[in-house]
Structure 1
Amino acid sequence: MGIDFTVFKGSSNGDVVQAKGHRDLKPTEVAIKISHCGVCGTDEHFRHADQGLGHEGVGTITEVGSMVPTLSEFRVGDRVGMSWFQKVCGYCDGCVSGHQQQCVNRIEFGTGNHDQGCFGTAVAWDISCLYKVPDEIESEYAGPLMCGGATVWSPLRDFGVKAGARVGVLGVGGLGHLAIQFASKMGMEVVVFSGTESKRQQALGLGASEFYVSGGPGSLDKVKEIEVLLVTASMLPDMKVYLPVMAFGALLFPLTVSTEILQVSPMDLIGKSLTVVGTGTASTASMRAMLRFAAKQGVRPIIEKYPMTLEGVQEAMARLREGKVRYRGVLVAP
């Protein structure tokens, strides 16, 4: 039968434009009517590309491909979420070892399916990258968890950070406010670093144990050492400020998506036996665990809602670009 849809796309001059599309389902795909979609900072990176925007989608399955009933538990009527990855092969070393986010044959946001996106009315999506949304999580909160939530969850869960560890979160924003919640509810001691005093009460209310305003080198001299640092700020930090408070053997996760150079010298790493870890979103098993945990522990993004219209998308993207969103924008279908 297939689906007809409206999609909001980028363009060469950076304007968001509205387009129409049609998809006939492949055997392992389902059709999804989109109800909500989070607005992620990485959507902004593709604003000048002729492609559908949006990768934090949530919606309801309206049709399934011929092989879906045999290969999966997905059925018409299920509420599901979608993230950065759109399809994985299932047979490469990454997939068979449980690291689907490392699939060498993956299709992901920005590399394929440019005619569609979760900023729209519907999508056709492969079941290899589809996740059921727990009943406890309302759809408006589920979208930002699909990418933003997974991005901060994966370093904590998948790299063995234990309860009781001192975890630094640099930046209280779209990623940081979720990182504080996940880490604190996982039993970690959350130490928040921010460039402004204004976010202190919010950070403490979300579960932070300590809050520090970071300035130049030496401004954190009295801070007890941390074992993990999640860099979630919109811009890369001056690491000379933070390296002195990192414990021997600490892990550094630069989660800010940037092409700029993170200034860490070999001697910085050698002196304290530091490890810099590159990680994006999570594996299939980790995504499922993240959604279960968020459902049971009450981890929810702080959101601003906008209509899923051309004007609504434009406004949400503009506020994101200007750094005014507190803390995740969510598009809502009319």
Structure 2
Amino acid sequence: MVDITVFKGSNEGKIVESQTKKDLGHDEVLIRVTHSGVCGTDEHYKHQDMVLGHEGAGIIEEVGSSVMNHAKGDSVGWGYQQNSCGHCKQCLTGRETLCPERAMYGTANFDTGSFAHHAIQKSAYIFAIPASIPREFAAPLMCGGATVFNALHSFGALPTHRIGVIGVGGLGHLAIQFAAKMGHE
């Protein structure tokens, strides 16, 4: 059992410090959170009794008994999706976000998030952060970066394509940068 200090929303909309206890599952990792992005979604949930934050980055401190793809000391991040069944048509074709059994921020695991000292996450839903990318820059990409990359990648955008971005807010400014780095006009 791991004691974790977390920061949750409240009925009044104030962020409050709290404690939670979680067991580390065989397919999970314990992450010491070093950085968290702040997403507009956090604003929507600040009136809920749940741990805030889904753009997390940190260092793995412990791994579950069946975790093979990550190790203690790895620099990792995680985002909005936390789990899926792994065997439905959506999961088997790379569309886990459409899995009927998916677990997403705001709908499951209300006692874990990136506004915390530590987080326990499924190892299949955390991502290695290369040493060349500081975690403070990687954390916000775990949601916004993944969102715009998925849009460019899923719809088959090729470097020869011209990309239009409507709105240059939180996602739009990332879409412009991603598209440019991917060779788009």
TM-score, reference length from structure 1:
0.54
Aligned partner of 2:5: which letter? T
Deviation of 1:130 (Å): 1.0
1:201-242 Cα shifts (integer Å, max 9, x gaps): xxxxxxxxxxxxxxxxxxxxxxxxxxxxxxxxxxxxxxxxxx
Q: Give the unaligned 5+ runs of structure 1.
A: 190-334
SS at match of 2:62: strand
SS at match of 1:66: coil
Aligned partner of 1:47: which letter? K
CA RMSD of aligned residues (A): 1.1
Within 2, Cα distance between the matches of 1:49 and 1:87? 21
Deviation of 1:12 (Å): 1.3
Contact 1:149 1:178 in 2 (8 A): yes
Match of 1:5 in 2: 4
Whichever of the two has the greater Rg, that structure is 1
Deviation of 1:23 (Å): 1.2
Within 2, Cα distance between the matches of 1:127 and 1:91? 17
Within 2, Cα distance between the matches of 1:47 and 1:36? 19
Within 2, Cα distance between the matches of 1:125 and 1:170? 34
Within 2, Cα distance between the matches of 1:168 and 1:23? 44
Contact 1:88 1:128 in 2 (8 A): no
Match of 1:121 in 2: 117
Aligned counterpart for 1:146 among listed residues 139, 142, 165: 142
Within 2, Cα distance between the matches of 1:46 and 1:95? 27
Aligned counterpart for 2:105 among listed residues 99, 102, 109: 109
**99-108 vs 27-36, which moves further:** 99-108
Deviation of 1:48 (Å): 1.0
Deviation of 1:171 (Å): 2.2
Pairing 1:155–2:151 present: yes
Deviation of 1:173 (Å): 2.3
Deviation of 1:74 (Å): 0.8
Within 1, Cα distance between the matches of 2:167 and 2:153? 20
Answer 1 or 2: which has greater helix percent.
Answer: 1
Using CA pairs below 8 Å that are at least 6 residues apart, which structure has the higher relative contact order? 2
Deviation of 1:81 (Å): 0.5
TM-score, reference length from structure 2:
0.95
Match of 1:45 in 2: 44
**Superposition pairs for residues 183-198 of structure 1, below 5 Å?**
183-189=179-185
Among the aligned pairs, what percent are the same residue? Answer: 49
Contact 2:60 2:73 in 1 (8 A): yes
Q: Give the unaligned 5+ runs of structure 2.
A: none
SS at match of 1:150: helix
Report the count of equivalent residues.
185
